[in-house]
Structure 1
Amino acid sequence: MGVELRVYIGSGTGPLRMIRCTGDIDHDSAGRLEEAGRQALTQPGGEFLVIDVAGVTFMDSAGLNCLRRLAPVSLADPLPHRIARLLQLTGADQVFPMTDEAGEGREA
């Protein structure tokens, strides 16, 4: 059993909406992240989503597919090595732009 995924939704500024994740993003938890992403984007004025995965301990193809379904999405820099490597191996590092924006947020 992995580390439980926790998702925190930040308020963001202007059209930017932020999500911070900790734990594992896998088949069992990716839906929670996707739901939080959609919720964040439905906040008034929400147009762009930034996800901070610095606290993510594991991500598999379900996590990558979740990010793809939420696109366009940016990932907050810096990425954990294991997540950066997964993105490089799959070519997803060319799909998801990096940003230095990150936020605290409330738990979803």
Structure 2
Amino acid sequence: MDVQVHDEGVGEVVLRPVGEIDMATVDVLEKALATALDRPGLRAVVVDLAGVAFLDSSGVRALVDAALRARREGVPLRVVDPRPVVARVLRITAVGELLGLPAEVPVSPAASFRGLN
């Protein structure tokens, strides 16, 4: 697992983890999040999860810990663009709202079955 860090200017940092986030790799994400949150003049942190194929409870914990730290410091932290399997983990664990995910839009069982969700 690798984390690309991009400074978007005006105090916004975007982290783009790529690969699987699990107990064997979570330390890479934790270090990247801590480094981002330590930046002077930080105004926002965005974690782009498009490249994450798998997320276990240790990854959820790392994101929640970072979001809580960011909140204490008055800095918004949100996740964007998770793959469906990752978004499902975040919603099932009830941390989607804390991490800035929009509420899941209800879909009919037939639409879900057809892969339209």
Of the candidates 50, 70, 74, which is equivalent to residue 46 of structure 2?
A: 50
Gaps of 5+ in 1: 100-108
The alpha carbon displacement at 1:59 in A equals: 0.4
Q: Supply the RMSD in Å over aligned alpha carbons.
A: 1.6
The higher relative CO (CA closer than 8 Å, separation ≥ 6) is in: 1
Of the candidates 90, 94, 117, which is equivalent to residue 91 of structure 1?
A: 94
Please tell me whether Structure 1 or Structure 2 has the larger radius of gyration of its CA atoms: 2
The alpha carbon displacement at 1:41 in A equals: 2.4
1:69 matches 2:65:
yes
CA distance in 1, matches of 2:82, 2:41: 27
Q: How does the TM-score come out when normalised to structure 2?
A: 0.73
Gaps of 5+ in 2: 71-76, 103-117
The alpha carbon displacement at 1:87 in A equals: 1.1
The alpha carbon displacement at 1:30 in A equals: 1.0
What count of residue pairs does the alignment treat as equivalent?
A: 94
Structure 1 ranges of 4+ moved more than 3 A: none
Structure 1 window deviating more from structure 2 (21-30 vs 34-43): it is 34-43
- Report the structure, 1 or 2, having the larger strand content: 1
Identity of aligned pairs, percent? 29
* Mapping 1:1-108, distance limit 5 Å: 5-71=1-67, 72=70, 73-76=77-80, 78-98=81-101
CA distance in 1, matches of 2:100, 2:78: 5
* 1:59 alignment partner AA: L
Given that 2:52 and 2:82 are in contact with CA atoms closer than 8 Å, whether structure 1 keeps it comes out as no
CA distance in 2, matches of 1:69, 1:47: 18
